[in-house]
């Protein structure tokens, strides 16, 4: 049993000591079976939320009405959820309510995919009612029960299926793929924000190319912001290894570049995904510089972060790998610039006003810009006296 499970084992034993069932469930169980790094440990029990709170001294109510309590134990937080059945779903998004139950099998039955519907007891024994381990071995993404029913309950599950396909490098089972083809319009009922979270996770997976291909094959791409009518562009993005990029803005910059969104459309496209303004600004700033031929001025205007991001994206596009040696040279060139921002100039606007003895006006910013360019291009030393002499010698000043 993994160390993270062992650390949480006292919680299971404490629940059982009080007469309740308790199991590890969810993604941690799946990842342990796949020998992947285990993340958050989740626990399911037939104890009610109130009974969970009574057993453990430190708890946080994060959704008692849905059966979930956070238990704080030895510096970690664990999500402990009461076995539940979900009532009729509304709007293809969420259940109208939940009913607390006593059956682990019925609790696992409500989950989306077989690989996410396994449990593990305190002895490390796997409980697998729906063939999750079989699907792991066969590398298949398959729903628990009828896929059409699962997608009608929560249409986001179609996109989640592709996301797990990307992350785990699995394939869609034939019946799951068929059900996505037939039910994809239901994704229109899902909020853009939820779709964006899943799609970004999809892009971060090692098999994003295969998942994008599946989105094209099933038509699911048509239900994603700004992609309807862009099947060939979506397919063109298959070759890019998005998983090698860490920042959200860089991933979106690479995506709009690979699907050939032109600069005039790019802001509207990214806004359609309801991304944070900062991510949009950074993505646009990077995307427009991916094919930039760098000189002192363009490096200065880009800034180090964008310079390196744009260069990394170009390297990944052309070589399927980040050329670390090339990036080191680019970083060194940037560090060698005489100035990194306007505030690094040896003179300020106030200095120009004192020197020229003229009323303030647009000429101040124009002169600063001209000085900035001259310094960057090595035509002028970044020294106050040298700048004053240079200005004095310029006939146009």
Length of the chain: 397
Q: Is 134 annotated among the ligand-binding residues?
A: no
Q: Is 317 annotated among the ligand-binding residues?
A: no
- Residue 397 pLDDT class (50, 70, 90 cuts): very low
Examine the domain organization and report whether 46 and 131 are in the same domain: yes
Examine the domain organization and report whether 13 and 133 are in the same domain: yes
Q: Is 163 annotated among the ligand-binding residues?
A: yes
Q: Is 111 annotated among the ligand-binding residues?
A: yes
- Residue 355 pLDDT class (50, 70, 90 cuts): confident
Examine the domain organization and report whether 85 and 64 are in the same domain: yes
- What's the predicted TM-score (pTM) here? 0.90
Q: Is 42 annotated among the ligand-binding residues?
A: yes
Kindly state the tokens that stand for 285. 């700033």
Examine the domain organization and report whether 191 and 297 are in the same domain: no
CB 88 within 8 A of CB 98: no
Examine the domain organization and report whether 333 and 277 are in the same domain: yes
User: Strand (E) positions, the chain?
Assistant: 22-25, 42-45, 59-63, 68-73, 76-82, 84-86, 89-90, 94-95, 98-100, 119-120, 126-127, 140-141, 171-172
Q: Is 154 annotated among the ligand-binding residues?
A: yes
Q: Is 157 annotated among the ligand-binding residues?
A: yes
Q: Show the domain range for 41.
A: 1-138
Examine the domain organization and report whether 107 and 4 are in the same domain: yes
Examine the domain organization and report whether 6 and 114 are in the same domain: yes
The pLDDT tens digits for 61-97 are 988 888 999 999 999 999 999 999 877 766 666 766 7
* pLDDT in the model for residue 56: 95
């Amino acid at each position: 049993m993994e160390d993270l499970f062992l650390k949480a084992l006292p919680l299971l034993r404490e629940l059982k000591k009080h007469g309740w069932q308790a199991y590890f469930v969810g993604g941690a169980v799946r990842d342990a079976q796949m020998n992947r790094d285990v993340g958050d440990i989740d626990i399911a029990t037939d104890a009610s939320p109130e009974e969970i709170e009574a057993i453990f001294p430190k708890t946080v109510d994060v959704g008692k009405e849905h059966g979930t309590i956070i238990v704080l134990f030895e510096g970690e937080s664990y999500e402990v959820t009461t076995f539940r059945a979900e009532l009729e779903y509304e709007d293809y998004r969420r259940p109208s309510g939940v009913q607390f139950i006593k059956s682990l099998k019925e609790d696992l039955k409500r989950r989306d995919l077989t690989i996410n519907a396994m449990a593990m007891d305190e002895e490390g024994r796997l409980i697998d009612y729906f063939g999750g381990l079989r699907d792991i071995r066969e590398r298949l993404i398959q729903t628990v029960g009828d896929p059409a029913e699962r997608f009608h309950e929560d249409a986001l599950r179609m996109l989640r299926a592709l996301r797990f396909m990307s992350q785990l490098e699995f394939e869609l089972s034939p019946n799951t793929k068929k059900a996505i083809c037939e039910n994809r319009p239901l994704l229109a009922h899902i909020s853009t924000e939820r779709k964006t979270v899943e799609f970004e996770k999809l892009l971060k997976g090692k098999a994003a190319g295969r998942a994008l291909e599946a989105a094209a094959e099933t038509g699911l791409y048509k239900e994603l912001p700004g992609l309807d009518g862009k099947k060939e562009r979506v397919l063109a993005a298959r070759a890019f290894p998005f998983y090698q990029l860490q920042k959200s803005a860089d991933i979106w910059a690479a995506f709009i570049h690979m699907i050939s969104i032109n600069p005039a459309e790019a802001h509207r496209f990214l806004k359609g995904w309801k991304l944070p303004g900062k991510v949009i600004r950074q993505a646009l700033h990077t995307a427009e510089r991916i094919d930039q031929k760098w000189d002192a001025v363009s490096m200065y205007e880009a800034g180090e972060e964008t310079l390196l991001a744009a260069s990394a994206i170009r390297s990944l596009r052309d070589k399927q790998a980040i050329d670390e040696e090339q990036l080191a040279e680019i970083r060194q060139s940037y560090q060698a610039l005489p100035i990194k921002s306007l505030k690094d100039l040896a003179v300020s606007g106030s200095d120009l006003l004192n020197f020229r003895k003229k009323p303030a006006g647009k000429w101040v910013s124009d002169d600063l810009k001209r000085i900035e360019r001259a310094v960057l291009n090595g035509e002028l030393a970044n020294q106050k006296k040298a700048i004053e002499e240079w200005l004095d010698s310029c006939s146009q000043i």
